[in-house]
Structure 1
Amino acid sequence: MNVIIFGATGMIGRGVLRECLLDDRVSAVLTVGRTPASTSHPKLREITHGDLLDLAEIEDELAGFDACFFCLGVSSAGMSEKDYRRITYDYTMSVAGTLARLNPGSTFVYVSGVGTDAQGRAMWARVKGATENALLALPLQAYMFRPGYIQPMHGVTSRTRLYRLAYMVTRPLYPVLRRLFPAAVTTTERIGQAMITVAERGAPKRILGPADINAL
């Protein structure tokens, strides 16, 4: 299958890209982002494009794909709802709407989060919930990944310094967390493998938590 990855320079996106390049089920990978993923591989092609609200310039490059793994996202900490919605909702729907037109019926996997709720009290939960609902209404095979705690694997790191420090502290504890809370933790490796599996054969439900991701 041929897949597109948005957000391939972030922690989750880097993990997903690694698994796509390793997996024989994936024939070709296109990454789209403001900066290249700095990875070289025969299966990989990269497009540098800064404005996800205007994809007209690269539309011709986005046709003919079986799946999109949308891993782009930011923390809501310190952001206004308007700014957070622009990145979380507007960027996502611009890409998804374009792909629904170019590749109707293709798979679209969106990285959401545990606690997402369009009617929730937390700003980030409402925005992500609205994004999920809008995606599910498009003519795509859309799946929402809601991972809980994510352990980065195989050299993948967060671009946020505070998160990098936190992962350094928790890395030795991950085997314990996995045993104590198997339904609440996952890894960048498992997320990538699960996305490929969903694109290959679907999943029993459209909203998938950590246990579902691990099972896939």
Structure 2
Amino acid sequence: MKIILTGASGMVGHAVLIECLEDSSVKEVLLINRKPINLKHPKIKELLVADFDLIATHVQELAGYDACFHCMGVSAIGLSEEDYNKMTFGYSKNLFNTLFESTPEMTVIYVSGVGSDSSEKGNSMWARIKGKTENYLLNLGFKDAYAFRPGIILPEKGVKSKTGWYNTMYVLLRPIFPLFKKMKSTIGSSDLGKAMLLLVKSPKKIKVLEPYQIKQLVNK
């Protein structure tokens, strides 16, 4: 398989990248980043895109891939609705449209968030916009598409958050990670990439996956 991955510099994207590199069925991973991540591996290629408003100019470079795992995202904290909408829905829409133009038969998986609002009418700004992004992807017409809604993600295999106090909290709580993993709203970071790869190989009818459903895919 040949995979496109966004957000590899973040915790979720890095976790998914590790699983792609460890899976023998994955032959190539194209990382779409604003800046180089300085990680060398025979499977890795990089496409630097400083402005996602211009992603359509790379349509030919995105052709011929089997799947895209869209893990790029920002926190809504401190952002206006206009800015958060542009960086979440707008950038994602540009990416999805470009991928659909290049290879509509690919599988696309978007990492959303638990609590996302599919009705797009709720009071929570971030949830409405995440829900709108999910809906746009799922209705665009790809061969297959999914929205992942992870809740609490426990870092594994050396994965770290960009947020310093998150890492401190993870270190303090690590002794009780096994207890946390039993919670329905909690998944290990490695579950994300494993579940994505499984869906590319064996599609499922369910298209929006909550944390416990992501875990079920991996632990069957």
Matching residue of 2:179: 176
TM-score of the two chains, using structure 2 as the length reference: 0.93
Matching residue of 1:139: 141
Q: Deviations over 1:143-174 (max 9, x none)?
A: 00001110111111011223222222322221
Q: Which amino acid aligns with 2:209?
A: L
Q: How does 1:25-104 map to 2 (within 5 A)?
A: 25-104=25-104
Question: 2:174 aligned with 1:167, yes or no?
Answer: no
Matching residue of 1:190: 191
Matching residue of 1:24: 24
The separation in 2 between residues aligned to 1:200 and 1:46, in whole angstroms, is 24
Matching residue of 2:108: 108
Structure 1 gap segments, 5+ residues each: none
The separation in 2 between residues aligned to 1:168 and 1:83, in whole angstroms, is 33
Instruction: Please report how far the alpha carbon of residue 105 of structure 1 lies from its aligned counterpart in structure 2 after TM superposition.
Output: 2.3
Question: 2:109 aligned with 1:130, yes or no?
Answer: no
Instruction: Please report how far the alpha carbon of residue 78 of structure 1 lies from its aligned counterpart in structure 2 after TM superposition.
Output: 1.3
SS of the equivalent of 1:53 reads: helix
Matching residue of 1:212: 213
- Larger mean CA deviation between 142-151 and 29-38 belongs to 29-38
Cα RMSD, aligned residues only: 1.2
- Larger mean CA deviation between 156-165 and 13-22 belongs to 156-165
The separation in 1 between residues aligned to 2:54 and 2:195, in whole angstroms, is 30
Instruction: Please report how far the alpha carbon of residue 63 of structure 1 lies from its aligned counterpart in structure 2 after TM superposition.
Output: 0.5
Q: Deviations over 1:31-53 (max 9, x none)?
A: 01112232211111111111111
Q: Which amino acid aligns with 2:212?
A: A
Structure 2 gap segments, 5+ residues each: none
Q: 1:158 aligns with which of 148, 154, 161?
A: 161
Q: Percent identity?
A: 43
Contact 2:181–2:188 (CA under 8 A) maintained in structure 1: no
Count the aligned residue pairs. 214
SS of the equivalent of 2:52 reads: coil
SS of the equivalent of 1:5 reads: strand
The separation in 2 between residues aligned to 1:205 and 1:187, in whole angstroms, is 21
Q: Which amino acid aligns with 2:103?
A: N
Q: Which amino acid aligns with 2:146?
A: Y
List structure 1 runs of 4+ shifted beyond 3 angstroms.
none
TM-score of the two chains, using structure 1 as the length reference: 0.95
Contact 2:56–2:98 (CA under 8 A) maintained in structure 1: no
The separation in 1 between residues aligned to 2:50 and 2:175, in whole angstroms, is 37
Instruction: Please report how far the alpha carbon of residue 71 of structure 1 lies from its aligned counterpart in structure 2 after TM superposition.
Output: 0.2
